[in-house]
Every structure is written in structure tokens, then in C-alpha cells.
Amino acid sequence: MQQPGEVVGGGLASTAFEEGSFDVGAGGSGAGGGGGPTAQPALRTYDDLFPALPDASLTRTANGDPMGAWGNNKMRVGSSKITQVFRVPFEERKVDGQRFGEGEPNHICADIMRKTGAHIEISQGKDQSLTFLVTGIHKEVLEARKKILQRFQTQANKQISIPKDHHRWILGKKGDRLKELEKNTATNISVPSMDDPSDIITISGTKEGIEKAEHEIRILSDQQSKKASERLNIPKHFHPFIVGAFNTNLNALMEETKTKINVPPPSVMKDEIVIAGEKDGVAAAKAKIEEIYKRMEKKTTTVSVEVPKSQHKYVIGPKGATIAEILQTTGVSVEMPQSDSAAGTITLRGPHDKLGMALSVVYDKANSVRSSDVDAPSWLHKYIIGRGGAQIREITANLPKVHVEFTEKEDKIKIEGPPEEVEKAQEQIEEIAKDLIARMTFTEMHVDPKLFKHIIGKSGANS
């Protein structure tokens, strides 16, 4: 059973490439879909029991892009078609997409194809994972990818405990505050009905959206607390020193002062820290936070380094674990640019004598992924990809962290991933390219467009 405060979810390994003449389609009919459970009418509502009073407007959060496993895969925008190959591991598949033998995934993909205009190929591996090959113009592929992720892969969710008497303030008049909070954070938030004694609120969505929603919900709850509260404006870049690696400092301070302290997560660009609790505890926590801030302000210096945006995820680590480890071992915080920013600058902040050690760790993590190019004429790309993407899927099946990119007008293939996996993929692709070059040739000829259908044949029979 999931415990309050636990986040579950996962990401995808992906392969992307651009191409011109290579076209992928998937047959099938029917539309995917399915609705959720039908809500039962409540006997009593919060509005019935608590007539609305004038209330403060909901605190707004800065808008952010959804996180997923796709955020780091920057794609070229243009009129040429692109193709993406990505995989949903069996353990992360949604229940409604697991009836592969009954054709359900094909029906869902057919529905997505009709809605987006993209072409989708789907196959199931021996390990029960699903591999998708999506082709179309940039906008179509991104929209199809988003819908496939929503339909086939589980979303993260988190349960938080909020005092029952605070729930109506989170809902707002006729649920308007809750609806606006869901819209601003791109999440789904489930609040127990008045007749349900549970104090657990469930938030579903991307990790970043969940963090934003939880932050706002806790602020609303703190505002309604009958205990004392304080709001401190501490510059955002000093928050890591107050929170500590893996939240150790913050948890210890809350335990010591018997208070609740809400520090905005890294994805929320706010300086404000909110403390709630007994008056003496709030005063003690405030004094401690201000002491940490003033001390670190005097002793810290900064250094900035440029790291390609595509390698930032390796510096961050799973759920920010690498950044937390650097803070724990060196006392240096690592500040990353926002996910929607194209900037590659990473800022390290901490004691001067510790910056060198932290910088070495950042470089090591960033370079744990290698890029390599394979020379291959662009006309060979579709043959290396294989019919329906079969050959490239076979190459990457056992190399889930490798990213392979085929570009329409470039006579090379780009490979990125862990050094050992890149080396294996490069060897296989080079061998295939060498064999094709030895056996095939290429020429261009001008043909009246009216004859194209006869050359191609019915359903591509001649191609």
C-alpha cells in the first residue's frame, strides 16, 4: 500500500531521428478510451455545511512545462518528417494498455493517429515491454508521444496528509480554488468528500507538477492553522543549505522546534519560506533559519560552468539524488537552469575550498555519457532503420540508454549514451552500413509525379 508522502513513477528510454522518404504507418480501427469510475452523489457538501466567506485569492505559481522522460530530448523544428522510437517497460505499463493480445493497444494507437495525424507502429518485446515508432512532422510526433505516454505509462502520484478541517479552504467556493490549482500545476487532485473521515489528499501528474501542487496546498493549510506562522524571504539559492542534503537539516529543525516548515521545491521559483506551529517553536525555527542564511551568505562563493543541456540530467541524478550527494559530501549546492530554459550554465555555490571537489564531481557525472558519429550516406538511413523500424529496434533493444538520431540531410548518424553502450551500438551500425555500402548504390532520376502511384504499386507492393 502506498504511504502518504511517497511518490511513484518512471521514465522512458527513447530513440529519435529525422528522415525524409522513410514513412511509417500502423493499421487498425477503433478508438482507445475508457472512462473512470462514476462518482456517487454526495449526501452533504462543503458548500452546504460551510457557507462561503470572502477569502484570499489563490497564490499563483509560475507556469512550468511537464517533466517526463521527454524533456531532455530537443527536436528540430521543420517541415521534414521525424521519427521517434521509445519504449514503455512492462513494470510501468498501465493496466488498460496491457491486453496486447486482445488488440487494445492497437485500438488506442489508431485513435491517437486519427487525433494527431502521426503514424504509429507498436510492438511487444519478450519482456512484455512496448516499443513505439512514431513518424510525422514535429508537432504531430510530439502530440502523439504525449498521448501515448498518458495512455500507456503510469503517472506519478503522491498522497499528503492535510488536516480535515482545512480541506474546504483547499476546495474553495464550488471547488473553484481546487480547479484553478489543478490548471496551474497540470495535476489531478483528489480531496475526500465531507462524509469520508480520511485526511489524505492525492495528487497525480508529473513530478514537477506534484511538487508545485503540494507546495500550494501546504501553504493554504498553514494559512488556516490556528497556530502562529511566519513568512521569511530568504533568497532561493540559499534554500539548499537550510533544507540540507536529502532534507536532513529541515527534518531535524522541524523535529526540534515542533513546527511545520514549507520550503519551495527547486522547481518553484519563490524565496518565501513559511513556518507554522506553536509560538515559541516558530520563533526558534525562524532564528535558526536566519542564522544559517547569514552565515552562508558570508562564507559562500560561486563558480559557473557550461555543460550541454542534454547532459544536465546526469548531473541531477534520479530524483535529484546526485545533487543531494554533492551537497552532502562537499557542502556545495548545485543550481541547475529551469527545465524550459535553453541555458547550459550550472552554478556551484559553497565554501571556496570545497568548490574544486564539487566541480570535479559535476564534470564526472556530465561526462558519464558519450556522443559518437557513424559516417553513413543519408540515402542509406532508411535501410539501417529497417522496415517499420525493425532493425534499429533490434540494435537498441538491449541498449535502453542509447539515443540514436538520423538526420535527413546529414551523411552521419549520431549516437549518445553511456560509453559502453554507445560503443556497442556504434559497432553494430558501422557493420550494417559497411555491408549496405558494399552491396548497394544510389542514383537520382526525374519521374513525372503522375507515375508515382504506378511505381509504388498498390499498398506499396512495388517498393
Domains in the chain: boundaries: 81-93+102-152, 156-227, 231-300, 370-439
Query: Three cell numbers at 242?
Result: 537550510
Q: Which residue has the higher pLDDT, 371 or 280?
A: 280
- pLDDT value at residue 51: 52
CA distance 194 to 192: 7
The pLDDT of 320-331, averaged and rounded, is 94
Determine the pLDDT at residue 226.
65
**CA atoms within a 13 Å half-sphere pointing along the CA-CB vector of 344:** 8
Q: Which of 120, 132, 20 is nearest to 78 (CA)?
A: 20
Indicate if the pLDDT at residue 396 is higher than 50. yes
pLDDT at 397 over 50: yes
Please indicate, yes or no, whether the overall pTM of this predicted structure exceeds 0.85: no
Dihedrals phi, psi of 21, to nearest 5 degrees? -80, -20
- 97-122 pLDDT, tens per residue? 455 555 678 889 999 999 999 999 99
Give the span between the Cα atoms of 138 and 83, in whole angstroms.
9
* Residues β-bridged to residue 124: 130
- Chain position carrying cell 473553484: 176
pLDDT of residue 186 exceeding 50, the answer is yes
**pLDDT tops 50 at residue 42:** no
**Architecture of the domain made up of 156-227:** 2-Layer Sandwich (3.30)
Q: Which CATH superfamily is domain 81-93+102-152 in?
A: K Homology domain, type 1 (3.30.1370.10)
Length of the chain: 463
pLDDT in tens, 60-77: 444 444 433 333 444 444
* CATH architecture of the domain covering 370-439: 2-Layer Sandwich (3.30)
Least confident of 44-53, 55-64, 443-452: 55-64
Share of the chain above pLDDT 70, in %: 79
Half-sphere exposure of 403 (CA within 13 A, CB side): 19
- Quick one: pLDDT at residue 349? 96
pLDDT attached to residue 56: 40
pLDDT tens per residue, range 168-180: 989 999 999 999 8
> In CATH, which superfamily holds the domain spanning 231-300?
K Homology domain, type 1 (3.30.1370.10)
**What is the structure's pLDDT at 319?**
85
Average pLDDT of the chain?
A: 80
372 confidence band (pLDDT: 50, 70, 90): confident
Say what the pLDDT of residue 36 is. Answer: 41
If one counts every other C-beta atom within 10 angstroms of the C-beta of residue 322, the result is 19
Which residues does residue 305 pair with via DSSP β-bridges, in sequence order? Answer: 346
Residue 78 in this model has a pLDDT that exceeds 50:
no
**Alpha-carbon distance values, 453 to 33, 81, 316, 324, 445 (Å):** 35, 20, 51, 60, 16
Which has more pLDDT, 186 or 255? 255
Picking from 230, 238, 217, the residue whose alpha carbon sits closest to that of residue 296 is: 238
Quick one: which of 229, 164, 174 has its CA closest to 201? 164
pLDDT given for residue 201 in this prediction:
97
Rounded (5°) CA angle 94-98-104: 110
- Higher per-residue pLDDT: 57 or 351: 351
**In whole angstroms, how far apart are CA 463 and each of 23, 121, 455, 458?**
12, 19, 8, 10
377 close to 442: Cβ distance less than 8 angstroms: yes
Q: If you ran DSSP here, which 8-state letter would residue 462 be given?
A: T
pLDDT band at 45, cuts 50/70/90?
low
* Cell numbers linked to 146: 504525449
Which segment of 19-23, 80-84, 369-373 scores lowest on mean pLDDT? 19-23
Compute the distance between CA of residue 362 and CA of residue 377 in angstroms, rounded to an integer. Answer: 36
CA distances 265 to 173, 270, 336, Å, are 28, 9, 13
Q: Which residues pair with 83 in a beta bridge?
A: 17, 135
